[in-house]
Structure 1
Amino acid sequence: MEAVVKDSNIYLEKANLLAQEFAKDAVERDKAGGTPKVQRDKIRESGLLKLLIPKEYGGEGQPWSTVLRIVREWAKVDASIAHLYGYHFLALVRAHLKGTPEQKEYYYTITAKNNYFWGNSSNPLQRTVIGKRVGNQVIINGQKNFSSGSPDSDFLLISWSDQDTNEYFNGIIPTSRKGVTVHDDWDSIGQRQTGSGTVSFEDVIVENHEILGTSDSANSVFATINPILSQSILANVFVGSAEGAVADAKQYTLTKSRPWYTSGVEKASEDPSTLRQYGDFWVEIQSAASLVEKAANKLDEIWEKEFFLSEEERGECAILVAAANVLSGRVGLDISSRIFEVTGARSTASKYGLDRFWRNIRTHTLHNPVEYKLRNIGNWVLHQEYPKAGFYS
């Protein structure tokens, strides 16, 4: 793989302009749920969906750290959009990780050319989609939950279990394929516009060339880094959400909060307790952001090694990313809860939407439990054993 040169400024400027647009109705859209169609189309038009795609296939050839920086920026105002953007790449690169060279070239090229948006319906813990081999095709039936990004997507990363062998497969199909139904049934307390609900498959045809894992590269160490990518994306969602929570709380404290009647100050922003807590928020965010950025740089390193990646190099990155994910989740949950202590009772009104930061972070931190990441880290600290490659480690 050719070395990439970080040139993130132009892309971050574009992302920041979009963030300003997303912020205008983020609170209202969070309440409504559903699919942020207008916002997704703006991302399509921006060209940022091809950011990670190598230049030889028509993309921008940028590293993961640039993608993750945009995820973090968008999470400051809308964690759902940040999630959708990060998981677009998580699905897109699966053909790179586990596909043939021809599959990699095809999906990168067609995505870059058309600014396609990717979604997924590939929850590995839910073996409820069954595939039956019929000649050169597989016919799949069933349904999957947690299908993030599936509404309004152009391609779907899917998975199924073979009805005869129970072997687990991944594949890629157009979302518009006959027999695919994307349901609007996601109703979580957080990440309300990620479309992480159910996708049903009724006699859906998957062609041979759409099935992943048929090349030798599918058994490489590089092919196992998917959980490292997903944890990296979510760590940046957490940090960005924490930053957004403080930014919104700051604005409220400066313009709307009232000092407590025994505080002896004229403005809430002059209260020593408020000053201390904002200082504490800043320190927490700096620690989490530093670790997340360090992990992103390590991810860039292992991505560049591609199929020459060693198990030890993967393990080093897995530990660092897990630590970044744990810390950013803790910091995000803490700050997004405590901001109400510096804004006051009236700030809990739903029209301000300050609660969305906590709800979004809380929803995500439950999908990949901190407890098991900490056990992996502890096993490395005590026994120098890296996490075994799996669906979530």
Structure 2
Amino acid sequence: METIIANDATQYVKIAATLAQEFSKDAAERDKAGGTAKVQRDALRESGLLNLIIPKEYGGEGQPWSLVLKIARELAKTDAALGHLYGYHAFQTVLPHTAGTAKQKEYFYTQSAKNNWFWGNSSNPIEPSLIGRRQGDSFTLNGHNTFSTGAKDSDRLAITWYDNAEKTTFYLGIIPSSRQGVTINTDWDGMGQRQTDSGSVTFENVVVEADEVIDFTESKGTPFATFDAILSQIVLANVFVGSAEGALEEAKKYTIEKSRPWHLTNYEEAIDDPFIQRSYGDLWIDVQAAVQLVEKAGEKVDEAWAKERSLTEEERGETALFTGAANAFGTKVALHVTSEIFQVMGARSATRKNNFDRFWRNVRTHSLHNPIEYKRKNIGRWMLTGEYPTPTVYS
């Protein structure tokens, strides 16, 4: 695919829809195979979509988060793994912006746009499995990180580590994925998101230079420095809702073309059965509600993002409420829709050949990483006390 030059948001979405249509041709087969979606990742590289979130002054397209999220959702309609990879690419790309210095923001944005980098991550802030020892101005890393989404075939890795097992000091760095001593393992074996390459990365005497370590001096203590958790939540919310949209569309096609009416009814076509019609109506209503909520949350993200370091705790908190609600409701709707489609498609739909269960498996797999129960609790607490969710890596 040749690189496409787009002039407005509509064109970017059309590019994503064209890619999604192409990806859909072998999505079910690739899900069964697992591994790295190399051809599809290269198509994203050539599409011109990787630099959307990078400001124009640094060589990017200067588009809002709401558009990036819409594209992730569009891709997720046919392949949740690729929607996830694309959304997380954008999320990793901006880390020097939210957490680093103005100089680091300029450098990483400029180089990423210039070289069309595809970003991945190897970050595990919960567990001190990767330890870095300071040697002069640099660090030498040994250990591993799990759930390293998009690490395989990436150009840059956003990595986190601690200085000791007691987690005294936390560090964030950006390194080439090909750095000596970095081994990106092929051990991802999730039941869903089969091509996100979310396995482990092993680090053996990996050197992180001083200018690759994100300097928190300018961002420390600002609400904007914790914006990465909000971005992670809203990216995944769009992946979940896109999966629900895609599953419903696949089910509709199957029902129209292949479903048989129940033998105790007098209908010649399954689509004439009032039960089938009502069920599709209910599913469509649920999906539309979820779409509206993730889009509203995306607008809130745009507003907050534009304020950068001037973002207040209250503004950050309100954005977290909407993104948390979008993630929680999107998860709930997606799990319901991706399961309920079998009820309206019929027994013959539930085969390994059709692989329609991939939609549910994809949503279920990643929704477990950030349970919605805690988001619901946070929102409920805010309703009763006015207390916004405490900024953490998950809220």
What is the TM-score when the length of structure 1 is the normalising length? Answer: 0.97
Matched, 1:154 2:169: no
Name the counterpart of 1:280: 282
Runs of 4+ in structure 1 off by over 4 angstroms are none
> 2: CA distance between counterparts of 1:264 and 1:385?
57
Distance, in Å, in 2 between the alignment partners of 1:297 and 1:52 is 15
| Residue identity in the other structure for 1:83 | H
Residue in structure 1 matching 2:189, options 179, 187, 190: 187
| Residues 124 and 161 in structure 2, CA contact (< 8 A), matched pair in contact too | no
CA deviation profile, 1:4-55 (whole Å, cap 9, x unmatched): xx94101001111111110110000000000000000010011100000000
Aligned residue number for residue 309 of structure 1: 311
> Are positions 1:370 and 2:372 aligned together?
yes
Per the alignment, residue 389 of structure 1 pairs with: 391
- Aligned identity (percent) is 57
In the alignment, what sits opposite 1:49?
50
Counterpart residue number, 2:4: none
Contact 1:119 1:150 in 2 (8 A): yes
Aligned positions of 1:213-228 closer than 5 A: 213-228=215-230
Alpha-carbon offset, residue 166 of structure 1: 2.4
Tell me the equivalent position of 1:82.
Answer: 83
Out of 333, 336, 347, the position equivalent to 1:334 is: 336
Tell me, in whole angstroms, the C-alpha distance in 2 between the residues paired with 1:216 and 1:28.
Answer: 47
SS of residue paired to 1:218 = coil
- 5+ residue gaps, structure 1, are 1-5
Q: Which residue of 1 aligns with 2:300?
A: 298
Correspondence for 1:212 among 211, 214, 238: 214
1:133-186 deviation line (CA, Å, top 9, x unaligned): 111110010001100000000000001111397211110100000000000110
Distance 2:64 2:267 in 1: 49
SS of the residue 1:203 aligns to? strand
Task: Give 2:274's aligned amino acid.
Answer: P
Q: Residue 379 of structure 1 aligns to which amino acid in structure 2?
A: R
Aligned 8 A contact 1:246 1:339 in 2: yes
In structure 1, the residue corresponding to 2:60 is in which secondary structure? Answer: coil
Give the 3-state SS of the residue equivalent to 1:216 in structure 2.
coil
Letter of the structure 1 residue corresponding to residue 279 of structure 2 = Q
Let me know the Cα RMSD of the aligned residues: 1.1
| 2:3 alignment partner in structure 1 | none
Say if 1:302 and 1:313, in contact at 8 Å, map to a contact too: yes
Residues 1:343 and 2:350 aligned together: no
The answer as to 2:68 corresponding to 1:67 is yes
Matched residue count: 388
1:265 alignment partner, SS class: coil
Distance in 2 between residues matched to 1:264 and 1:326, nearest whole Å? 41
Give per-residue Cα distances to partners, 1:48-98, cap 9 Å, x unaligned.
000000000100000000000001101100000000000001111110011
Q: What residue in structure 2 maps to residue 12 of structure 1? A: 13
Task: Give CA-to-partner distance per residue, 1:293-346, whole Å, 9 cap, x none.
Answer: 100000000000000000000000100110111111100000100000111111
**Mapped pair 1:37 → 2:38:** yes
> Does the residue aligned with 1:143 lie in a helix, a strand or coil?
strand
Aligned-partner SS, 1:9:
helix
Q: Output one character per residue of 1:332-365: Cα deviation in whole Å (capped at 9) or x when no partner.
A: 0001000001111110111112100100010111
Contact in 2 for aligned 1:97/1:218 (Cα 8 Å): no
Does 2:357 align with 1:355? Answer: yes
Contact 2:128 2:167 in 1 (8 A): no
- With normalisation by structure 2, the TM-score equals 0.97
Tell me the secondary structure at the aligned position of residue 149 of structure 1.
Answer: coil
**Structure 1 position 380, deviation (Å):** 0.2
- 2:149 is paired with a residue whose SS is coil
Are the counterparts in 1 of residues 100 and 218 from structure 2 also a CA contact under 8 Å? no
Report matched runs for 1:101-180 at 5 Å.
101-163=102-164, 166-180=168-182
Give the Cα–Cα distance (whole angstroms) in 2 for the partners of residues 219 and 351 of structure 1: 52
What is the alpha-carbon distance in structure 1 between the residues aligned to residue 66 and residue 122 of structure 2? Answer: 25
- Partners of 1:50 and 1:345 in 2: how far apart? 44
Contact map agreement 2:123 2:159 (CA 8 A) in 1: yes
Q: Does the CA contact (< 8 Å) of 1:7 and 1:62 recur in 2?
A: no
Matched residue, 1:241: 243
Aligned to 2:272, which of 266, 270, 273?
Answer: 270
